[in-house]
Amino acid sequence: MSIITLINPYNQQKLNLNNQNEEVFLEDQESNQFFKIKGAFRFVKDDNYTENFGFQWNKFTQTQVDKFSESNQSTERFLAVTQWDKENLKDKNILEVGSGAGRFSQVVLANTEANLYSVDYSNAVEANFKNNGHYGERLQLFQASIYEMPFEANSFDKVFCFGVLQHTPDFKKSVQSLINMAKPNAEVIVDFYPIKGWWTKIHAKYIFRPFTKKMNHEKLLRTIENNAGWMIKVARFFDKIGIGKLTNRFIPICDIKNTLPYQQLSKQELKEWVILDTFDMFSPEYDQPQRLETVKKWFEEMEMENIEAKFVEYGNGNSIAVVKGIKKSTKIN
C-alpha cells in the first residue's frame, strides 16, 4: 500500500499528524492546524453553499445506507456504474468526493479491502463517520472543497464522484479537480443529473427552486413532510393509469418510479426516501445538469482516454448518466 501525502491545500505544504492534549490535528511547517472533529479533518467551515446537505444527511443519516435499509440500491448502483473487481482493489487507495452520509463509502468498505479517502464540503462527514467509522484506518474523512483537497496531485488508484457534480459551482472545474487527483493510468468515474432534452427543465423542481433554495431548511423540510403523503398517492395513481411520465414532472416531489427502489421499501421507508429526495431536489444552491456528450468532451480535453459515456441501468429500471475514463500516463500537447 502506498501512503497518500497530505498537504495544506492553501499553501501546498506537507501536513504532519500530531496528537496533543487528546486532540488530533494535521499541521504544516508554518503551524497551520486542521483538527480532527467527530471523525473528520476539517479544512473548511460549515457555513458554505453545501450547508443544506449537512442538514440533510445529519437528519437522514441512515436512510440510503444499505445496511440499515430493506434496499440494496446503493450497492447495485455502485457495482453497475464502476464494474470494479473487488479482488483487484486490495490495498488500493480510492478517492471519493461528495460522500454525504456515506452510502457509497459503506459499499466500498464492506465489499473490498481498499483504503478510502472520502471528502465532503459539508458537515455530512459526521454522518459518514457515524455510519462507517468502525472500519477504522481504512476510512479517512476530510471536510474540504472539491477545488482545494488536501492531497498531492496524481495520488489515487481510483477516483469516483456520484450524484454530486451538478451541485458544485463549476461542473467542468470540478471534473478537472477529480482528474488531477488520479494517478497516471488510474480510472476516474462520475455520475450526474443529465440533460436529456429541451424538456428536462420543464419540471416542478426548476419552477420552484428559485424560491425553495432560499427557504429555511427546517421550514422547507416541514413543508415537504406535511405534503408528502398526498403527493405520493397522486404520483403513484398517475403511474398506475399510465400517464405519470407526462404528469408527475409537475408534482413537486421526487421521481419515485425512476429513481427510488420503491419495490424494496416498506410504506414508511418509501415516505422517508421521498421526503429526503424531495428536500434534495429543492434545497441545493446549485443544480446544473449536463448533457452526457458535454461531460465526455471535457474528459477528452483533460488527459483522459478509453472514455465511456452512457446511461447505466441498475436496480428495478433505474438509470444514471455515467462518464468514465483512464488518465493518460503522459500529457500529450
Which residues share a beta bridge with 36?
A: 41
pLDDT at residue 282 in the model: 98
If you average pLDDT over residues 21-34, what whole number do you get? 95
33-42 burial: b if 16+ Cβ within 10 Å, else e: ebebbebbbb
If you average pLDDT over residues 108-122, what whole number do you get? 97
Statement to judge: residues 181 and 211 lie in one domain: no
Domain membership of residue 239 as a residue range: 204-282
Examine residue 294 and state whether it is found in any structural domain, yes or no: yes
Statement to judge: residues 278 and 297 lie in one domain: no
Examine residue 39 and state whether it is found in any structural domain, yes or no: no
Spatial CB neighbours of 176, under 8 Å, sequence gap ≥ 6? 298, 302
Statement to judge: residues 51 and 140 lie in one domain: yes
Which residues share a beta bridge with 190?
A: 161, 323
Q: What is the pTM of this model?
A: 0.95
Cell numbers describing residue 208 = 420552484
Statement to judge: residues 158 and 176 lie in one domain: yes
Statement to judge: residues 78 and 172 lie in one domain: yes
Q: What CATH number does the domain containing 191 carry? A: 3.40.50.150
**What is the number of structural domains in the chain?**
2
* Band of pLDDT at residue 2, cut at 50, 70 and 90: low
Examine residue 84 and state whether it is found in any structural domain, yes or no: yes
Statement to judge: residues 94 and 238 lie in one domain: no
pLDDT at residue 328 in the model: 94
Examine residue 252 and state whether it is found in any structural domain, yes or no: yes
Statement to judge: residues 323 and 174 lie in one domain: yes
Statement to judge: residues 257 and 294 lie in one domain: no
Examine residue 31 and state whether it is found in any structural domain, yes or no: no
Phi, psi of 37 (to 5 degrees): -125, 125
CA distance 6 to 140: 11
Examine residue 3 and state whether it is found in any structural domain, yes or no: no
CA distance 125 to 11: 24
Examine residue 224 and state whether it is found in any structural domain, yes or no: yes
Least confident of 86-90, 142-146, 227-231: 86-90
Q: Is the dihedral of CA 282, 163, 136, 46 positive or negative?
A: negative
Average pLDDT, the chain: 95
Statement to judge: residues 162 and 116 lie in one domain: yes
Statement to judge: residues 135 and 220 lie in one domain: no
Neighbours of 22 (CB within 10 A): 5
Statement to judge: residues 75 and 217 lie in one domain: no
Q: Tens digits of per-residue pLDDT, 140-183?
A: 999 999 999 999 999 999 999 999 999 999 999 999 999 999 99
Neighbours of 46 (CB within 10 A): 14
Examine residue 246 and state whether it is found in any structural domain, yes or no: yes
* Band of pLDDT at residue 317, cut at 50, 70 and 90: confident
Statement to judge: residues 212 and 304 lie in one domain: no
